[in-house]
């Protein structure tokens, strides 16, 4: 049993399609996938589960303000983590980002880094943090700048550091499924190369 936040997004939606017993935790219902429907600032007790996956995320442009961005990418993530831990989750898997750094001057990497640090302080038995580069795949919402980058960055992959290049969102989803079966305790960070290895040959 896996609790899944972010199931309406690019990576989360793919995970939902791969894991038959995933319980989505969303702000709006998903047809064919009964789960928990609630605002993340007022989550009810969640169903018991040992593994929780968080693929929540937005952009500053879509959110409309710094505060609104952090409400999703930090406050909602940590609210879900706390509720999942209360429901018995001992293994937490987070989709973060390459460059996450709590000391960064930039909002996006700083927020990602602060969330990672906060999750470490929650002392899950196992914490997996995926730090992919630009994700390639169709999104439900329009992100014009990201759509342009999705076309350009793959062309630059041969000259970019491996951790900075793009990779298919499906590779991240398959890596999450592989990680969900891991039991060794500790904190583990996974860059593009590690994500590719976890996902398997189909995404090499």
Mean pLDDT split into 10-residue runs, the chain, 204 residues: 95 96 95 94 96 95 94 98 98 97 96 98 98 80 51 47 74 97 96 94 65
Nearest in space to 5 (alpha carbons), one of 103, 108, 87: 87
The verdict on whether 103 is a catalytic residue reads no
Q: How many domains does the chain have?
A: 1
CA distance 92 to 83: 12
Determine which one of 18, 59, 108, 118 is catalytic.
108
Tally of CB atoms within 10 A around 52: 28
Strand partners, 185: none
> 79 to each of 120, 186, 202, how far by Cα in Å?
14, 21, 34
- Is the distance from CB of 172 to CB of 130 less than 8 angstroms? yes
pLDDT at residue 160, rounded to an integer: 46
Would you state the pLDDT for residue 156? 44
Domain extent for 75 = 2-203
| CB count in 10 Å sphere of residue 48 | 12
Rounded to the nearest angstrom, the gap between the alpha carbon of residue 187 and the centroid of all alpha carbons in its chain is: 16
pTM: 0.88
Structural contact between residues 84 and 92, judged by C-beta atoms closer than 8 angstroms: yes
Residue with tokens 């994500």: 195
Q: What is the CATH number of the domain that holds 83?
A: 3.40.50.720
DSSP 51: E
φ and ψ at 56, to 5 degrees? -70, 145
Quick one: CA dihedral 63, 36, 87, 177, positive or negative?
negative
In 3D space, the residue among 19, 28, 27 whose CA is nearest the CA of residue 1 turns out to be: 19
Of the candidates 70, 91, 110, 112, the residue annotated as catalytic is 112
φ, ψ of residue 189 to 5 degrees: the values are -110, 140
| 112 annotated active-site | yes
Give me the sheet containing 36-37, strands edge to edge.
Answer: 36-37, 22-26, 2-5, 51-54, 91-95, 126-130, 186-190
> Which H or E element spans position 5?
strand 2-5
């Amino acid at each position: 049993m896996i609790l899944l936040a972010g199931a309406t997004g690019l990576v989360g939606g793919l995970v939902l399609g791969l894991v038959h017993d995933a319980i989505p935790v969303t702000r709006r219902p998903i047809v064919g996938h009964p789960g928990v429907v609630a605002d993340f600032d007022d989550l009810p007790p969640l169903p018991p589960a040992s593994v929780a996956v968080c693929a929540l995320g937005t952009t500053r442009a879509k959110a409309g303000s710094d505060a609104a961005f952090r409400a999703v990418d930090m406050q909602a993530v940590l609210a879900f983590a706390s509720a999942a831990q209360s429901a018995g989750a001992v293994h937490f898997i987070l989709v973060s980002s390459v460059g996450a750094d709590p000391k960064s001057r930039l909002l996006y990497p700083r927020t990602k880094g602060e969330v990672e640090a906060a999750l470490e302080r929650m002392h899950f038995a196992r914490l997996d943090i995926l730090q992919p580069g630009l994700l390639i795949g169709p999104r439900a919402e329009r992100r014009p700048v990201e759509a342009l980058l999705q076309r350009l960055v793959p062309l630059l992959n041969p000259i970019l550091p491996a951790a900075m290049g793009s990779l298919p969102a499906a590779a991240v989803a398959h890596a999450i499924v592989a990680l969900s079966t891991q039991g060794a305790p500790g904190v583990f960070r996974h860059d593009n190369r590690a994500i590719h290895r976890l996902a398997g040959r189909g995404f090499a």
